[in-house]
């Protein structure tokens, strides 16, 4: 049946989020106006406020949705036995997950400072949970004698930064597939913690 003319909440809603994500990633939250989002969605500015109370809530919703997905996807991953295989699983998961959603990753790193303090606290706590998973793997491996890491905290920071950096240069259709990239990074990570 035909809908009431002008009623498109199931189309416009996602479109607002997709457009905002794309524009925030491209130009930055502060540089993107609600007018611009509306224009690219194909509605008038006022209509946006049916989908978000304000611009800040839109940013927070995008980041929160992304972090929720990151944590739940990671927790649903198979959990191999032993720190060595778990580290490899983390490396491959992180690269794959990040390269699959470059825009969300980008704003998750770039737009943290544009979150209101209470929103920032929520995202920051989720980030710590995720990074804590890596540090736990390193700690286990260290105490089991499978890894040799001078400082597990620093090592987790170093490895996260290294892995996340893939997004700054990787372009789909380049000379390497995601799997090949993951192989190369895993080789460096493995050696850096003296595994195997």
What span, in angstroms and rounded, lies between the C-alpha atoms of 173 and 156?
30
Applying CB under 8 A, the span of 8-16, 46-54, 76-84, 162-170 interacting with its own copies comes to 162-170
**What is the DSSP code (8-state) at residue 29?**
G
- Check residue 112 and report its DSSP letter: G
Site string for its own copies, 78-107 (x = CB under 8 A): ------------------------------
Contact track, DNA, 34-73, x by CB under 7 A: xxx-----xxxxxx-xxx-xxxx-----------------
- Are residues 25 and 103 in contact, defined by beta-carbon separation less than 8 angstroms? yes
Query: Tokens standing for 90?
Result: 């983390």
User: In the set 150, 171, 172, 173, which binds its own copies (CB under 8 A)?
Assistant: 150
Residue of the chain from 11, 151, 177, 179 that contacts its own copies (CB under 8 A): 151
Q: Give, in order, the Cα–Cα distances in Å from 67 to each of 64, 115, 119, 157, 195.
A: 5, 14, 12, 18, 29
Q: Candidates 46-54, 56-64, 133-141, 151-159: pick the segment binding its own copies (CB under 8 A).
A: 151-159
116 binds, among its own copies, DNA, none (CB under 5 to 8 A by kind): none
Q: Distances in Å between the alpha carbon of 169 and those of 102, 124, 164, 175?
A: 11, 25, 10, 12
36 near its own copies (CB under 8 A): no
Q: Name which position in 3, 11, 26, 54 contacts its own copies (CB under 8 A).
A: 26
């Amino acid at each position: 049946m035909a809908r009431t003319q002008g009623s498109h909440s199931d189309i416009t809603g996602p479109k607002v989020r997709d457009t905002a994500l794309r524009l925030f990633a491209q130009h930055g939250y502060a540089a993107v106006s609600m007018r611009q989002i509306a224009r690219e969605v194909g509605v008038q500015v006022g209509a946006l406020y049916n989908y978000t109370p304000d611009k800040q809530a839109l940013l927070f919703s995008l980041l929160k949705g992304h972090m929720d997905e990151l944590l739940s996807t990671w927790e649903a991953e198979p959990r191999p036995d032993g720190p060595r295989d778990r580290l490899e699983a983390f490396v491959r998961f992180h690269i794959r997950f990040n390269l699959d959603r470059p825009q969300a990753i980008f704003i998750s790193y770039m737009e943290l400072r544009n979150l209101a303090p209470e929103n920032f606290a929520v995202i920051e706590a989720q980030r710590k949970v995720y990074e804590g998973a890596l540090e736990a793997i390193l700690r286990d491996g260290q105490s089991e004698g499978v890894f040799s890491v001078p400082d597990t905290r620093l090592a987790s920071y170093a490895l996260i930064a290294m892995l996340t950096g893939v997004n700054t240069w990787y372009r789909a259709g380049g000379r390497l597939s995601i799997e090949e990239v993951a192989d190369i990074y895993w080789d460096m990570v493995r050696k850096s913690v003296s595994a195997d």
